[in-house]
Amino acid sequence: MKILLFMLMIFLSQVVFSIEGKEKSKDELRFQKLDQFNKILFLIENNYYREIDFDKLIEGAMKGMMSTLDPHSAYLGKENFEKMEEETEGEFGGLGIEVTQKDGVMVVITPMEDTPAYEAGIKTGDKIIEINNENVVGLPLEDAVKKMRGKENSKITIGILREGQEKLTRITITRRVIRVKPVKYEILQDNYLYLRLVQFQKKSYLAVAETLEKFQKELSKKGGLSGVILDLRANPGGLLEEAIDISSIFLHDGVVVSIESRDPKNRDVRFVKKTGFKDLKTPLVVLIDGSSASASEIVAGALRDQKRAVLMGTRTFGKGSVQTVSKIDEQNGLKLTIAQYMTPNGKKIQALGINPDVELNVLSDNYSKLSKDVNYVREADLKGHLDAVIESEEEKRLRLEEQKKVAAESMRKMKKGKDEKIYDPMEDYQVIQALNYLKANKIFKKINL
């Protein structure tokens, strides 16, 4: 027995030593790699045939390091750090387009309403190949975006490739300060409110609440507000707190969204806010599409899971990852993916998106500047995107098949933006169907169906 115990102790000590050795070798490997980096830096500084800008070299290394993570993590230099702060305020200079990058090519997610890009006819899915006659394919997204920014009233020419067109189209746009109006609205027939939320920026909640309150009062003597169509199509997202506040308008209590970090046990749950303006009874339809992303998906998921709204349209973008911006110093920052969003029922959004309750293809020519039935670039199409861990191989297969089917059915040649009329929600097929649904629902309630 003593011999066996002694042999067991020897075995356990060897296991511990082996584990410690592995941990040590891992640390040694890390220092070895850092040493390699220093050697490369030394060789470049001393042997490159031109004089080196050391700061630029290090910044390039940091950008390259961040590019190995996912499409939403990035090193933010001074200009981009300032730009991010400006955009959350709802006022910034530029063209007014939301872009991403796929296989080294910059792709338009959506042009924002009432902006130079929107008015020039830039469309969802357009591939930006040139900026001022300079090819930008392969250029880091941060650098390409920087080229599109400039002084107010200055001109920029961008070369785009569009589905169904073989030749490059060059469009000259005049930059201006972008002031995004978060909400647009119109009363449709029989006291139904069409309410379009353009972006989740500061004070978006106030704009939505004030609009709803205004028409509830105005229509109180005409039978009241019959229903609301909340349009989140082509809405790229924005501030999380605004998404929670807007969801809370329509919900009494419960979970709006939960946030799962690196450790699945460490979960941050965000609940409905009890204070503020409430509308808990007005029938609600939410319109979504392949350009509805991030905060839009949080609101859509919360309202659907809590059975407060019916979702209509097409599958959303699938941007369910959480980024935090950390200050490195007074001028530079770091945007880092730290978690994933989940709907109240625990469903992940990342790379999956949210499917509508009622699928509606886009048929309206008048809405084509925002969400014509194009081959949407979604989160799952981006190189290096994070996968949602709950998606099985079968689910992934079905999702990819659905994407191919939608793409095949939706590719049509688009009209030029100049030939299109001013947007009228009553000429928008999806809005009309949402309105019909609300009307039918009202009739069914009257006859107790």
Please give the CATH number for the structural domain made up of 91-178. 2.30.42.10
Report pLDDT digits (tens) over 205-223.
Answer: 999 999 999 999 999 999 9
Q: How far, in Å, CA of 48 to CA of 241, rounded?
A: 49
Return the CATH fold of 181-446: 2-enoyl-CoA Hydratase; Chain A, domain 1 (3.90.226)
Report pLDDT digits (tens) over 172-194.
Answer: 999 998 777 889 999 999 999 99
Report pLDDT digits (tens) over 79-94.
Answer: 777 766 665 565 566 8
> What are residue 280's DSSP bridge partners?
none
Q: How far, in Å, CA of 341 to CA of 346, rounded?
A: 9
Helix (H, G, I), strand (E, B) or coil at 113: coil
* Cα distance from N-terminal residue to C-terminal residue, the chain: 79
User: Hey, do 91-178 and 181-446 end up sharing a CATH topology, with the first three levels equal?
Assistant: no
In Å, how far from its chain's centre is CA 214?
30
Q: Which of 305, 321, 348, 371 is catalytic?
A: 305
Q: Which of 204, 291, 292, 294 is catalytic?
A: 294
Q: Tell me the C-alpha to C-alpha distance, in Å, between residue 35 and each of 28, 53, 66.
A: 10, 21, 19
State the amino acid at position 34 in one-letter form: L
Beta-strand pair 155-161/169-174: antiparallel
- The domain segmentation of the chain, as residue ranges, is 91-178, 181-446
Phi, psi of 230 (to 5 degrees): -90, 110
**Is position 39 annotated as part of the catalytic site?**
no
Predicted confidence at residue 86, as pLDDT, reads 62
Predicted confidence at residue 5, as pLDDT, reads 38
Predicted confidence at residue 90, as pLDDT, reads 58
**Is position 319 annotated as part of the catalytic site?**
yes
Residues in the chain, overall count:
449
Among residues 186, 182, 244, the alpha carbon closest in space to that of 214 is found at: 186
Q: Which of 123, 319, 335, 369 is catalytic?
A: 319
Predicted confidence at residue 325, as pLDDT, reads 85
Helix (H, G, I), strand (E, B) or coil at 83: helix
**Is position 392 annotated as part of the catalytic site?**
no
Q: Per-block average pLDDT, block size 10, for the chain (449 residues)?
A: 42 46 73 92 92 90 91 85 65 79 86 87 92 91 84 91 89 88 92 95 96 96 95 92 97 97 88 97 96 95 98 95 87 91 95 95 52 61 67 65 53 36 80 95 76
- What is the overall mean pLDDT for the chain? 83
Q: How far, in Å, CA of 232 to CA of 288, rounded?
A: 5
Predicted confidence at residue 77, as pLDDT, reads 84
